[in-house]
Amino acid sequence: MSPAGDAAAALKELPDGRLFIGGEWRAGRGAEIDSHFSADGSLNRTLRGASAEDADEAIARAQAAQADPAWRDLLPHQRARHLYAIADGIERNADRIARIQSRDTGKTLTETRALAASAAGTFRYFGAVAETMDEALTARRGSALTMSVHEPLGVVAAITPWNSPIASDAQKLAPALAAGNAVILKPASWSPLTALELARITEAAGLPPGLLSVLPGSGREIGNLLVEHPDIAKVSFTGGTETGRALAVKAAEKLMPVSLELGGKSPAIVFADADVAQAISGVLFGIFSSTGQSCIAGSRLFVEGAIYNEFVERLVAATKALRIGHPFDPATQVAPLIHPDHRAAVAAHVARARDDGAEVLTGAAPPEGADFARGAYYRPTILAGLDNTAPLCREEVFGPVLAVLPFEDEAEVIAQANDNPYGLAAGIWTRDFPRAWRVGRALKAGTVWINTYKQFSISTPFGGDGASGIGREKGRQGLLAYTAQKGLYADLTGAPHPWAGPV
Ligand code: NAP
């Protein structure tokens, strides 16, 4: 099918714009939200977002659904069945949800199909974790049997960004539900449709009504209301560092736990002994896939001096050969950005870098031609001549912009890579494994890739240090982030407590 044909099919199957509030589908009572297809600027849907009353209602229903013995008293293997049914539903609808997500975000269908598959895997994994997670008998120090158990928190708010909605939504919903909570999901205003489709799938999979509500709406209003609401027991947030920091301050006032998956400015480090073809392909994928709109984008490239000129020359040539195109064209490697406003923000970062003395090796402008005229496209961009302390090397651009910097030795590159507020991810290319190990252990990063980039396993914890956040998602421990740990002591003697004397 042609890209235009796929796009037309996707338009027809978009969610109808009603919200999922406390188990019911109805129009929101809040402000209008326009969702656009960033490949051509066409309107996907106008929907009414959630109002404060909608949010209050969703939270009250979530509390009731969470406390209902029909959910609260499920045994872990019974709760797991709900997660498996949702995973099956996502898989059955994978093509449809991929097309919706591509219209919602402008991402390539190739990528949104992979994200849908990974979301299904996330639900299946946390179902399996729920039914295999042990509770512990702990070492006794007296006559009582001592145990450590985990309880659900209650109603959890999940606040997610626009760049990979189905994946970030699943990463929060699956462990939160597996642990026995109810969830209020607030998707980003630029991509409200994918989460609504996910809600339809959970409903069809038989998740009891009220356990999930999906409330598109302004972050400053609805997101903030969720954070401040006395009946929200935890906020799990993925998004920008400034938003996360402000949210954490409010959470502290409430003494409410938060998980924060925030931004990044990740270093990619290429040593002179690296396999150059492997390194170039990894660096390209690390920064330019998803058009750079990835928290883990490897946006600062350090290349060892001995190979710097040759490496950068080949990298630039390979970058120029990347296929920029329509999200529905299977040949496309670089699709449009999410929104024209975001393209303007990316361009502003590049303009300031040029003022700071950056040399443009390629890109730094939208592509030319009729195919790109109405879309939010931006060419993959490589900048040289900046210092690691320049704003472009310190601030997250969240677009297809790479800064290249030379280095001379291992200690220097570790110091430069770590000289940044963020600590989300890093990549190292070398044939010297002991060196990769040393450098990998020394880098300030939640994830380090060696001779590869952007590989993921749901079994491996993910998260950031410093300005990149607090907490870890994924992995068996990821479920525990949605629980309250409890110590339980049960008397084994059957005797009255001696302290009280005869009673
Ligand atoms: P954002 O502006 O921080 O928004 C994220 C979410 O927070 C959206 O749903 C937003 O709603 C909401 N929000 C905004 N202000 C809020 C407030 N005052 N209180 C509560 N919620 C509020 O981030 P974004 O631009 O959508 O996403 C890009 C950022 O996400 C980048 O920094 C990227 O690195 C980060 N990210 C991190 C990870 C990770 O795992 N570490 C993964 C993906 C993305 P509105 O859309 O209505 O404003």
How high does pLDDT run on average in the chain?
A: 97
- Does residue 293's CB lie within 6 angstroms of at least one atom of ligand 1? no
d(CA 361, ligand 1 centre) in Å: 31
Strands 182-186 and 212-214: parallel
d(CA 241, ligand 1 centre) in Å: 8
Q: How many CA atoms lie within 13 A of 155 on its CB side?
A: 27
| Per-residue pLDDT at 6 | 79
| Residue 364, helix vs strand vs coil | coil
Q: Atom 18, ligand 1: which residue's CA is nearest?
A: 220
- 101 falls in which pLDDT band (50, 70, 90)? very high
d(CA 138, ligand 1 centre) in Å: 40
- 10 falls in which pLDDT band (50, 70, 90)? confident
- Does residue 216's CB lie within 6 angstroms of at least one atom of ligand 1? no
| Per-residue pLDDT at 188 | 98
What is each CA distance from 401 to 72, 287, 293, 406, in whole angstroms? 48, 7, 10, 17
Amino acid found at 321: A
Look at residues 410, 449, 405 and name the one whose alpha carbon lies nearest to residue 427. Answer: 449
* Site to substitute for ligand 1 among 238, 254, 260, 460, most atoms within 8 A of C-beta: 238
Look at residues 183, 219, 239 and name the one whose alpha carbon lies nearest to residue 58. Answer: 183
Distance separating alpha carbons of residues 404 and 308, to the nearest angstrom: 9
Distance separating alpha carbons of residues 481 and 462, to the nearest angstrom: 13
| Per-residue pLDDT at 7 | 78
Q: Which residues are paired to 202 by β-bridges?
A: none
Among the atoms of ligand 1, which is closest to the Cα of residue 462? Answer: 40
Distance separating alpha carbons of residues 195 and 118, to the nearest angstrom: 15
Rounded percentage of the chain residues whose pLDDT exceeds 70: 99
Chain centre distance of CA 274: 30
Contact 151, 484 (CB under 8 A): yes
Contact 324, 333 (CB under 8 A): yes
d(CA 160, ligand 1 centre) in Å: 6
Distance separating alpha carbons of residues 197 and 96, to the nearest angstrom: 9
d(CA 12, ligand 1 centre) in Å: 28
Contacts of 456 (CB under 8 A, 6+ apart): 118, 462
Among the atoms of ligand 1, which is closest to the Cα of residue 247? Answer: 19
Q: How many CA atoms lie within 13 A of 11 on its CB side?
A: 15
| Per-residue pLDDT at 5 | 73
- Does residue 399's CB lie within 6 angstroms of at least one atom of ligand 1? no
For the cut 80, the answer to whether the pLDDT of residue 4 exceeds it is no
Rounded percentage of the chain residues whose pLDDT exceeds 90: 97
Look at residues 274, 293, 375 and name the one whose alpha carbon lies nearest to residue 327. Answer: 375
- Does residue 264's CB lie within 6 angstroms of at least one atom of ligand 1? yes
Contact 271, 193 (CB under 8 A): no
- Does residue 396's CB lie within 6 angstroms of at least one atom of ligand 1? yes
d(CA 278, ligand 1 centre) in Å: 33
DSSP-assigned states of every residue in 153-185 = -SEEEEE--SSSHHHHHHHHHHHHHHTT-EEEE
Distance separating alpha carbons of residues 413 and 340, to the nearest angstrom: 36
- Does residue 161's CB lie within 6 angstroms of at least one atom of ligand 1? yes
- Does residue 238's CB lie within 6 angstroms of at least one atom of ligand 1? yes
d(CA 73, ligand 1 centre) in Å: 34
- Does residue 49's CB lie within 6 angstroms of at least one atom of ligand 1? no
Q: Atom 42, ligand 1: which residue's CA is nearest?
A: 295
Q: Atom 20, ligand 1: which residue's CA is nearest?
A: 223
| Per-residue pLDDT at 142 | 93
For the cut 90, the answer to whether the pLDDT of residue 8 exceeds it is no
For the cut 90, the answer to whether the pLDDT of residue 60 exceeds it is yes
- 2 falls in which pLDDT band (50, 70, 90)? low
Per-residue pLDDT reduced to its tens digit, 146-169: 999 999 999 999 999 999 999 999
- 9 falls in which pLDDT band (50, 70, 90)? confident
Amino acid found at 119: A
Please state the rounded mean pLDDT for residues 66-86: 97
- Does residue 219's CB lie within 6 angstroms of at least one atom of ligand 1? yes
| Per-residue pLDDT at 3 | 73
- Does residue 224's CB lie within 6 angstroms of at least one atom of ligand 1? yes
Contacts of 351 (CB under 8 A, 6+ apart): none
| Residue 228, helix vs strand vs coil | helix
| Per-residue pLDDT at 1 | 57
On the 0-12 / 13-18 / 19+ scale of CB atoms within 10 A, 196 is buried
- In the 8-state DSSP scheme, what is residue 225? H
Q: Which residues are catalytic?
A: 172, 261, 295, 473
Contacts of 63 (CB under 8 A, 6+ apart): 154, 155, 182, 231
Per-residue pLDDT reduced to its tens digit, 260-293: 999 999 999 999 999 999 999 999 999 999 999 9
